[in-house]
């Protein structure tokens, strides 16, 4: 995508591309931006490899005498740094790697793996809904990735199509672990402003409760629902109405989900205690994925020995590339748009903020 124009202020480090963050990272063009921050292409000049660099947005600086705003900004900065450092310890083929976290210009910066691909949100927008078997295969892989994170004590809390990057060979990668400023906060601020993407906020978070692993199960269900139906499971006239629909479990029907429908209903149960575990979800999804033959590749547990791939690693298949027959017939005419550049595709997860 073309680089977005930004005001050239003294606080904008993109003005001088010769500058190195932390004496090491050179900033490149903007790949995407949203409420959580700005993502740029970059280069690790020490290791001489391309990276993605995200400047995380913090609450605005406090006016003089506003102690509460000052504390909120400080707490937000510490939360981002702490969570990003935890995410940097994760190693799993289904997760976008976090390499480093630094502070510059009063903001945290997250240095991540630069992955070529499009977000699942872009795929849905450009190609329409996907078949139940294709979505089930993606769900199996994402469930393994989330399990690996949970075993390391990390809860994503923002699982949505915009945070699922699909590589050119069809592998889903989950990105943005705990680096948004809103992570861990209630769904609503004291002023009534919705924090996060309303359609993908679990009901417990919409009520202001803490989100644990079952919240990621719900997010997985909402993401899969969107992929198979082409729209999120809950919607209303505005953010607050959408949150009300989620809390009251006024879910849209899913006429295209087929055998995936009952599984989605369980994943989207409004009661976190009644949702299946990720292992149980995988078992159900495998049966649906097996309904359509596809080329498979074994999960390579040996390459990621620090992460237990689960009780049945041999059956953890990565999804096949999204092919024409994965897209329902009425959408196939638009299922193969001309591909964006590598830099464009790398921006996938950042555009849906």
- List CB contacts of 262: < 8 A, sequence separation 6 or more: none
Given its phi and psi angles, is residue 298 left (phi above 0), alpha (psi -120 to 50 degrees) or beta?
A: beta
CA 103 to chain centre: 23
Q: Give CA torsion, residues 276, 279, 284, 290, to 10 deg.
A: 160
Write the burial class of residue 341 (CB in 10 Å: 0-12 exposed, 13-18 middle, 19+ buried).
exposed
Active site amino acids: 158
- List CB contacts of 7: < 8 A, sequence separation 6 or more: none
Give the number of other Cβ atoms within 10 Å of residue 235's Cβ. Answer: 16
User: Which helix (H) or strand (E) is 145 found in, with range?
Assistant: helix 132-151
CA angle at residue 262 from 257 to 264, to 5 degrees?
Answer: 70
User: Which helix (H) or strand (E) is 109 found in, with range?
Assistant: strand 107-113
């Amino acid at each position: 995508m073309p680089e977005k124009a930004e005001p050239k202020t003294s606080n904008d480090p993109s003005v001088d591309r010769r500058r190195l963050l932390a004496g090491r990272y050179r900033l490149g063009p903007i790949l995407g931006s949203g409420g959580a921050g700005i993502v740029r292409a970059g280069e690790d000049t020490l290791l001489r490899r391309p990276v993605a660099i995200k400047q995380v947005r913090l609450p605005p600086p406090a006016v003089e005498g506003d102690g509460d705003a000052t504390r909120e900004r400080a707490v937000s900065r510490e939360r981002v740094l702490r969570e990003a450092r935890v995410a940097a310890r994760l190693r799993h083929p289904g997760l976008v790697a976090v390499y480093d976290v630094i502070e510059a210009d009063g903001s945290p910066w997250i240095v991540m793996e630069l992955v070529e691909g499009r977000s699942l949100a872009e795929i849905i927008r450009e190609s329409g809904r996907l078949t139940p078997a294709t979505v089930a295969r993606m769900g199996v892989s994402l469930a393994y990735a989330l399990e690996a994170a949970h075993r390391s004590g990390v809860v994503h809390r923002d699982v949505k199509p915009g945070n699922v990057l699909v590589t050119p060979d069809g592998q889903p990668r989950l990105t943005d672990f705990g680096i948004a400023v809103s992570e861990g906060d209630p769904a609503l601020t004291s002023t009534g402003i919705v924090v996060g993407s309303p359609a993908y906020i679990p009901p417990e978070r919409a009520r202001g409760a803490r989100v644990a692993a079952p919240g990621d199960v719900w997010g997985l269900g909402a993401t899969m629902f969107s992929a198979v139906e082409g729209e999120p499971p809950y919607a209303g006239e505005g953010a607050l109405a959408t949150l009300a629909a989620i809390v009251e479990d006024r879910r849209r029907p899913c006429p295209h989900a087929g055998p995936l429908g009952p599984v989605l209903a369980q994943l989207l149960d409004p009661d976190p205690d009644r949702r299946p575990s990720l292992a149980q979800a995988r078992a159900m999804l495998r049966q649906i994925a097996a309904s359509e033959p596809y080329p498979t590749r074994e999960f390579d547990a040996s390459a990621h020995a620090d992460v237990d791939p689960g009780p049945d690693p041999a059956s953890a298949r990565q999804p096949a590339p999204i092919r024409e027959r994965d897209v329902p017939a009425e959408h196939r005419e638009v299922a193969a748009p001309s591909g964006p550049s590598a830099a464009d595709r790398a921006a996938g997860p950042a555009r849906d903020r």
